[in-house]
């Protein structure tokens, strides 16, 4: 039975208890999970196949089968337990995953040989820790009226007054997600910074801003908006009242993502492959 595996750069993962988590909405996921289980058990590794409804703190390592949304959900659960995550992409873009379903055997072989590293990804926390996010915290007005006047304070100093459809507060990991669609910058995932991006601002002088990760952000609303909606990674949603300030800051823990030494797995290679970044148009 495998236990502690040490990588060539000194990172360690514990394979004594492996959870294989799959998105049950993906028809292919359980089949791939069974393939992963077979490869692990052939190497005398204790493991279980579970859906993403069956997370448990009993596991020391998580293999996630699905798209980025499945990995985000798993990250929010396992980050407080310091459990590393390996993503196998069954979705579309797969920014957070490290292998395709056809590379399962190769990916596990890399891990057993120590050909991996653990990358700590910064997370955000809001609502006094009730919401935590690997990608982003999004704040929008409630109801059919989409436009809100939102005031952004940084370290108790008012910085921006946005008339917009909402605000995205993003980690570097999330800079290639909703933030990018809203016109924000792309940040390398290991940079310690926070991005604030207005969604469809009703002015030409409202621009994204990048701030240090140790800054504390507070968002308030104008008095004519009774409720705001706040979401974490677009998956967990809360309603907050008009008199409740929304504080967003760097989370106390990180997501531990496994990076493999497979070809085309660097951040810049993924940008080029997934987003066709920097490629000139060919007519």
The residues carrying an active-site annotation are 68
How far apart, in whole angstroms, are the C-alpha atoms of residue 158 and residue 149? 13
Residue with tokens 């005031």: 151
DSSP per-residue codes, 192-203: -EEEEEEES-SS
Nearby residues of 127 by Cβ (< 8 Å), 6 or more positions away: 230, 238, 240, 246, 247
> CA nearest 36: which of 52, 59, 20, 14?
20
- The first and second tokens of residue 47, run together, are 């493991």
Phi (first) and psi of residue 206, to 5 degrees: -95, 115
Beta bridge partners of 153: 158, 218
- The first and second tokens of residue 204, run together, are 């030409």
Nearby residues of 145 by Cβ (< 8 Å), 6 or more positions away: none
Residue with tokens 């436009």: 147
């Amino acid at each position: 039975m495998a236990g502690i595996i040490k990588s060539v750069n000194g990172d360690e993962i514990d394979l004594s208890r492996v959870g294989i988590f799959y998105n049950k909405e993906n028809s292919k996921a359980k089949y791939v999970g069974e393939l992963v289980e077979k490869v692990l058990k052939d190497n005398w590794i204790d493991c279980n196949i579970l859906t993403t409804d069956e997370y448990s703190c009993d596991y020391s390592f998580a293999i996630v089968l699905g798209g980025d949304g499945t990995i985000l959900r798993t990250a929010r659960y396992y980050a407080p337990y310091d459990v590393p995550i390996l993503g196998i992409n069954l979705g579309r873009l797969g920014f957070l995953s490290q292998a395709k379903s056809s590379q399962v055997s190769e990916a596990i072989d890399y891990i057993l040989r120590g050909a991996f590293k653990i990358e700590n990804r910064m997370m955000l926390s809001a609502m006094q820790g009730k919401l935590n996010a690997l990608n982003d915290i999004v704040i929008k007005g409630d109801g059919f009226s989409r436009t809100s006047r939102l005031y952004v304070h940084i370290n108790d100093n008012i910085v921006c007054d946005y008339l917009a459809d909402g605000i995205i507060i993003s980690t570097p990991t999330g800079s290639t997600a909703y933030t990018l669609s809203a016109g924000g910058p792309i940040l390398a995932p290991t940079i310690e910074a926070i991005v604030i991006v207005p969604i469809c601002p009703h002015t030409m002088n409202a621009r994204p801003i990048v701030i240090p990760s140790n800054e504390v952000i507070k968002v308030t609303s104008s008095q004519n908006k009774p409720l705001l909606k706040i979401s974490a990674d677009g998956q967990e949603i809360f309603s907050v009242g008009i008199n409740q300030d929304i504080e967003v800051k760097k989370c106390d823990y990180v997501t531990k993502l496994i990076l493999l030494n497979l070809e085309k797995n660097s951040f810049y290679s993924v940008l080029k492959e997934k987003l066709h970044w920097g490629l000139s148009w060919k007519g």
